[in-house]
Structure 1
């Protein structure tokens, strides 16, 4: 029930806008001449290799066509296609201006979801029109929108460039820091080798060295005693041999 009420309200608002726009086309003077206002149609689907001349050729039979603008695809998509070997320039969406807004309304209502190419051999025969009439939309609004998108794109590009610069500077700073640290470590090793100080020994090292000295003394004492005993034996052997 709510959805039905909302749809009815939407239709009422749209009908009101239609009446206001039709009122703009009323009598503009005592001579009874009607004011002709231009109307703009939005194209939501642009087939590959579809150009503005194709739009003009296909839509001029329904009414006088004025300005046409097709939005080109993003530059990075174009670069990817060039790397893949395709040099075709495609578009994503478009706007078509008719001299009479009533003709634009009829064209959008009658051609929406119909084949673009009338002939079966036409290149765009299997593509369908995706049209919508833009109420109260003027060409200046499109220019403002394009200028705004261009400015947003430039700001985004500047932000990406500044981010890339920050990342590069951060990387270079880290490289310089690592170089300085490596130089400092090598210099510290050289200075440690050239210094003449002796590190104070720990208690364990002192006890170990004392035990080694004591063992050396004992071994030296034993060797001295053994040498004396050998000398005494040789002396006694000489004495007894002489007496015999």
Structure 2
């Protein structure tokens, strides 16, 4: 907060010829650049008072500065927000203008053992490249190739290359499509051919949106599969609990039967024993062919009973 310097000076009194050392304390104010000279005889009491005064003054000044920097008016805050918004808008407009000048080429086939670094190294000699995206191959194909003893690195199926200039991208696609990659003969893709095409009116944002959509659909499928698996698991656990409950009921019934058989009672019958079925028998009349009596034509007794009030009188017409 402040500094003080002790200096030793020699002063002679006017009435004597001897010289006495005089200690002078010089206090330096950090803000006002002022100093105070204190003699040795009054050094101790004045030091404490001066220190307290300077500490209080410096702290007050620092608090005032902090308050002045923190307490901004609403208009100043609005100005700062507007400036930030304008800077952000300008930056986005510049990026959009740069994106309009860029061109994207599509690689329908990526040669084996080629990765983004090698592809950038080869194509950068034709023009400036902004971004490269290569689609990794299926993990199952990678495992199968490793088991077969082939290339053990990561393979890619297709890719996209973004050039800073769309004219360069068009020229690269028209020049290299169907041509041999070449390079050093020791290269693993020396004899491979370029399969490259310029995508007109295609921007890198379209690719990112497509990738995001594919990722979202994949996550949705995984969520559906997980929900189906959870339902199957819950159904299986419910059936297991049900079977355990039924088995416990059967065990209790078996124990109860054993106890009753030991006591000589047969009140409880087996669960699997079926009661004798009651067969209803109806009287049957024999036919005339089998020796039965030939009935004479006439009205039935039921009809006559209904007509005459339940009497058993029957009427037989004359033949």
Q: TM-score normalised by the shorter chain: which range applies?
A: 0.5 to 0.7
Match among 258, 263, 266 for residue 197 of structure 1: 266
- Give the direction of change, closer, same or farther, for the CA distance of 1:82–1:184 in structure 2 (3 Å limit): farther
Q: Does 1:45 find its partner at 2:112?
A: no
The answer to whether the Cα contact below 8 Å between 1:69 and 1:94 also exists between their aligned partners in 2 is: yes
Gaps of 5+ in 2: 1-98, 270-274, 277-319
Aligned to 2:230: 165
Aligned residues: CA RMSD? 2.9
As a proportion of its length, which structure holds more strand? Answer: 2
Match among 131, 137, 145 for residue 67 of structure 1: 131
- Give the direction of change, closer, same or farther, for the CA distance of 1:76–1:156 in structure 2 (3 Å limit): farther
Note the 1:1-244 alignment, pairs <5 A: 37-75=101-139, 77=141, 88-195=153-260, 196-197=265-266
Gaps of 5+ in 1: 1-34, 203-244
State the 1:49 CA deviation.
Answer: 2.4
**Which one has more relative contact order, counting CA pairs under 8 Å at least 6 apart?**
1
Aligned residues: 168
Q: What is the TM-score of this pair, normalised by structure 2? A: 0.46
Deviation string, structure 1 residues 19-74 (Cα, Å, up to 9, x no partner): xxxxxxxxxxxxxxxx9821100111123321111111111122222111112234
The answer to whether the Cα contact below 8 Å between 2:113 and 2:188 also exists between their aligned partners in 1 is: no
State the 1:178 CA deviation.
Answer: 2.0
The answer to whether the Cα contact below 8 Å between 2:112 and 2:189 also exists between their aligned partners in 1 is: no
Q: What is the TM-score of this pair, normalised by structure 1? A: 0.59
Aligned to 1:212: none
Deviation string, structure 1 residues 82-124 (Cα, Å, up to 9, x no partner): 7888752222211101122122112112212222233332211
Distance of 1:83 and 1:177 partners within structure 2? 46
- Give the direction of change, closer, same or farther, for the CA distance of 1:99–1:163 in structure 2 (3 Å limit): same
- Give the direction of change, closer, same or farther, for the CA distance of 1:77–1:123 in structure 2 (3 Å limit): closer
Query: Which structure: larger Rg?
Result: 2
As a proportion of its length, which structure holds more helix? Answer: 1
Distance of 2:254 and 2:182 partners within structure 1? 82
Distance of 2:146 and 2:234 partners within structure 1? 31
